[in-house]
Structure 1
Amino acid sequence: MTQFNAVEEALAEVVSQGRCLGAALRVLHDGEEVLDLAVGDATSTQAMAADTVVPWFSASKLAATVAVARAWELGLLHPNDRVVQHLPEFAGPGKDDIRIEHLLTHTAPLRAVDRETGRRFADGRHALLELVLSGDADPDWTPGTRAAYLGHAGYLLLDEIVRRGSGRPFADFLHQQVAAPLRLTSRLGAPPGADVVDVPWFGPAELASRVARFDVSMGYPSACMAGPFGDAAEICEMVRQVGTRHGRRVLSPETCAALVTDQRPPTLIDESAGRARRWGLGMVLAAENFGPASPASFGALGGTACLVFADPEAGLTVSLYFNGNTGAADRLSRDRRVIDALYRDL
């Protein structure tokens, strides 16, 4: 028996039930790695391993958010800036008062144009950016007064703001300012020469067509990080340690506090979820997928395959990856089965 007997059994059970091909779990406690476990398969010919290169899906926003926070600290932008201050061609009715903070909290009136980006992944970054820049704002939506998850539109604008301000591609900025200091091998657009796992669908067949499929090499900041998902734990751990990891300061304590402080009114309904959801600046707070984690927990979710979070009250940071997207209910069941077992073990 090991300290993590319950969580090892939970992971093995999920895989044996055919709810994914394989899974990987990394756990940091008080800054030290205490578990780095992989079970099952990555492909038909490759076992799942801690260093398997996987797509991060929307958990890519975690890395992108920290890159935007670095741009803030370098004076390239401020959360209270209006987007049109940086991107004048974005101007238009209902759009002039959209601020950077609204993009990070998913409270910008861009839901319709965001849905259109989801239908046009294959068009590439430039075409999607032009679509968002020229698109109309949603009517009857004052920025900050309504909330709905934006899969791509907000982060395409953030990408361009940082690109213009820094004079370099967002992927390069993210690597230099975030990935390299944290010793990550993951990259926006995938590590050079890496074979990225094609994550299969395990949910109801009638929902399969809703799963976004695109090549991570397109480099969208909202969904195209790829690499070992344990790298995501390093990002959350840095924020948990108020900006420092491996003896390197990446963010200031003040910036970290802003990322994980509630930025939405507590009664504001997220129209994507049908209920109130807590958000910091680019971070989901105390998500139900985090199991018994404390109300202070923060992190990100990716597709219906992965999650990463830090729980400051427990001194804990966790990254969990299932090699298999699935329906929302099964995803929550898998997540909670493993995270609940982990907290019991600890």
Structure 2
Amino acid sequence: MTVTDPATRATVLEDAWLAAATEGFRCLGSGAADPVKVLLEITDPAPGAPGRVLMAMDLDTGRLGFTRAGRQDRAALTVVLTRDDAVTLLLGDGRARVRLFETGRVRMHGVFLFVFFLDRLLLQDPSGTVARLRAAAGVVAEPSAGLPVHVPLPPAGEPEPSAGLPRTVELLRAETLRTSPGVQLYVSHRGTPVIDAGLGSARPAVPMRADALPIWYCCAKTVSAVAVGRLWERELLDPYAPVADVLPWYSGGGRERVRLVDILTHTSPVPMGADPLHGCMSAPWDLRRGAVARMPVPDGPNGERINYAAWWGWFVIAEMIEALTGRTYVEYLETEVLGPCGMDRSKVVFDGAGYDAAGATLPLIYVAGGALPPQPTWWFSTEGAATTVIPGLNIRGPMRDLGRLFEMLVRRGQGRSGRVLRPVTVAALTGRHRVGLEPDQLGNADWSLGFRLESRHLGERCCAFGRSASLRTFGHYGLWTTVVFADPDHDLVVALHLNGKTMQDEHQRRVLGICDAIYADLGLARG
């Protein structure tokens, strides 16, 4: 992002600019019936300028609205940042916007996921209003930082991924034209690979290959859970003991009440929206450690409410691994989990040379859904994010590798290149530990130690891995893009990546449709 007139830029978010912004967006209509609200809290507002600005987003049409926020106004997402960083967030190019979250300067509370959809609206700017406001503020986006709206690659020459899963492949091809420019799928049945394929686009003009390296998002948490299992069976930790027994710095403010089992089952008293690493998930390690060390833990018992720990809990697990083994988190995962499982293409993190070699072909995440076209974005694909360890999030690898991790679990701990876990440890990790709790807004219900469990018996909203999946099925979702599971009753492993991120309901519909097709194609569907 280039600032051609700093004096003009300084007027952004002051009353005159805010009035122009409100008037500029009025041409898009009266606004959404149920808009998503984002609150910007400016830490250093100009004299007389509002310190709180409320944005309203219509995710279907791209309409945006700005207004001065009142003291009582609340929002689904609150972003706390300086005025300069707010200018970058609102008027900068896509790469500069995501780099804000690598600095540690930005703090967020609430539903972090909405920031992806805000980025999409600001990038696509259906009315051209953002461009006019950017010009009025003297801010010019660098052309090299732009990403074109998705144009499907021609199917000519695309290899046929599998003749054995016809209904599944048909659905995958349909998704590449609708919600996900690229897909990657690995399925094995009774220990034999059935499909290992990529379709569509990994990023603009780059096809999605079977050996491409998409980001796993929260499916990466399963690797950390297996690492915990290895330490547990060696009696190096007790998952029911306080984390502070291993990490003395993690105490005070209620933190000493948090146990490893609370993190693995996502039942600590810390609400997801209060995660201290929201906004700084790819910031320097020491800064993140400080945020976690200061995080307040609300009063209340553990284990009585589902509170998904997106970032902070897995940072704590990484610190525990290092404290207990004297090895780095990356080294431990690579040598103790990835290596024995035969996950030879996966990267816990890139070094600079590795990113230089692969960065231009890494699959991007597209924000999709609604009436707007899929939009490629820079989230977790910049050099800063890809070369920063983000525990439980930014492992990259082909779905084939993620499938091999779950094949090891189905084989009761035996990996392709050695034993990873004892059978009793696999049973302990994947058994039902969280039951009887009210499902959260994403349909998460029963849970094991680090794995989501099939809970269709609790209703359609809680069905995760298909209507024919057995209730012994365990796996994980990854931020509305990736899903992996093993169904021991059918000796079935599925790992799926859709690089088009949609909202929860649409994502669940497409995942269940694909999973149901897999069961049907393999003759495993329930009658």
The two structures have a TM-score, normalised by structure 2, of: 0.61
CA contact (8 A) 1:76 1:165 kept: yes
The match for 1:132 is 292
- Residue 87 of structure 1, CA deviation: 1.0
CA contact (8 A) 2:481 2:497 kept: yes
Distance 2:505 2:325 in 1: 41
- What aligned pairs does 1:155-170 form with structure 2 within 5 A after superposition? 155-170=314-329
Pair 1:137–1:112, CA change in 2 (3 A): farther
- Residue 276 of structure 1, CA deviation: 6.1
Task: Identify which of 160, 163, 170 aligns with 1:2.
Answer: 163
The two structures have a TM-score, normalised by structure 1, of: 0.92
The match for 1:342 is 518
The C-alpha deviation readout for 1:69-126, integer Å capped at 9, x for no partner, is 1222233312122111011121224332321111111111222685331122242332
Q: What residue identity is the alignment partner of 2:257? A: D
The C-alpha deviation readout for 1:247-278, integer Å capped at 9, x for no partner, is 621001111001111111x32124453x6601
CA contact (8 A) 1:25 1:37 kept: yes
The match for 1:201 is 367
- Residue 159 of structure 1, CA deviation: 0.6
Task: Identify which of 328, 331, 334 aligns with 1:172.
Answer: 331
Task: Identify which of 387, 397, 413 aligns with 1:217.
Answer: 387
Task: Identify which of 306, 309, 312 aligns with 1:147.
Answer: 306
Distance 1:106 1:29 in 2: 30
Distance 1:276 1:308 in 2: 15
Q: What residue identity is the alignment partner of 1:307? A: V
- Residue 227 of structure 1, CA deviation: 1.5
Distance 1:272 1:332 in 2: 13
- What aligned pairs does 1:316-331 form with structure 2 within 5 A after superposition? 316-331=492-507
- What aligned pairs does 1:204-283 form with structure 2 within 5 A after superposition? 204=370, 213-214=379-380, 215-246=385-416, 248-264=418-434, 266-273=435-442, 277-283=445-451
The C-alpha deviation readout for 1:146-197, integer Å capped at 9, x for no partner, is 2211101111111101111111110110001001111212121148343232
Pair 1:205–1:255, CA change in 2 (3 A): farther
Please identify, of 108-117 and 217-226, the stretch whose mean Cα deviation from structure 2 is larger: 108-117
CA contact (8 A) 2:410 2:486 kept: yes
Q: What residue identity is the alignment partner of 1:148? A: N
- Residue 306 of structure 1, CA deviation: 0.8
Is residue 11 of structure 1 aligned with residue 179 of structure 2? Answer: no
Please identify, of 163-172 and 66-75, the stretch whose mean Cα deviation from structure 2 is larger: 66-75
- Residue 129 of structure 1, CA deviation: 2.0
CA contact (8 A) 1:107 1:144 kept: yes
Q: What residue identity is the alignment partner of 1:12? A: R
CA contact (8 A) 2:342 2:415 kept: no
Is residue 293 of structure 1 aligned with residue 469 of structure 2? Answer: yes
| Contiguous gaps of at least 5 residues in structure 1 | none
Q: How many pairs are equivalent?
A: 340
What's the secondary structure of 2:277's corresponding residue?
A: helix
Distance 1:59 1:276 in 2: 14
Identity %: 29
Pair 1:122–1:155, CA change in 2 (3 A): closer
Displaced runs of 4+ in structure 1, greater than 4 A? none
Task: Identify which of 198, 207, 212 aligns with 1:47.
Answer: 207
Distance 1:301 1:190 in 2: 23
Pair 1:3–1:197, CA change in 2 (3 A): closer
| Contiguous gaps of at least 5 residues in structure 2 | 1-161, 456-462, 523-527
Q: Give the superposed CA RMSD.
A: 2.3
Distance 1:133 1:158 in 2: 13
Distance 2:441 2:249 in 1: 28
The match for 1:284 is 452
Q: Which has the larger radius of gyration?
A: 2
Pair 1:183–1:276, CA change in 2 (3 A): closer
CA contact (8 A) 1:204 1:327 kept: no
- Residue 239 of structure 1, CA deviation: 0.8
The match for 1:32 is 192
- Residue 324 of structure 1, CA deviation: 1.1
Pair 1:270–1:90, CA change in 2 (3 A): farther
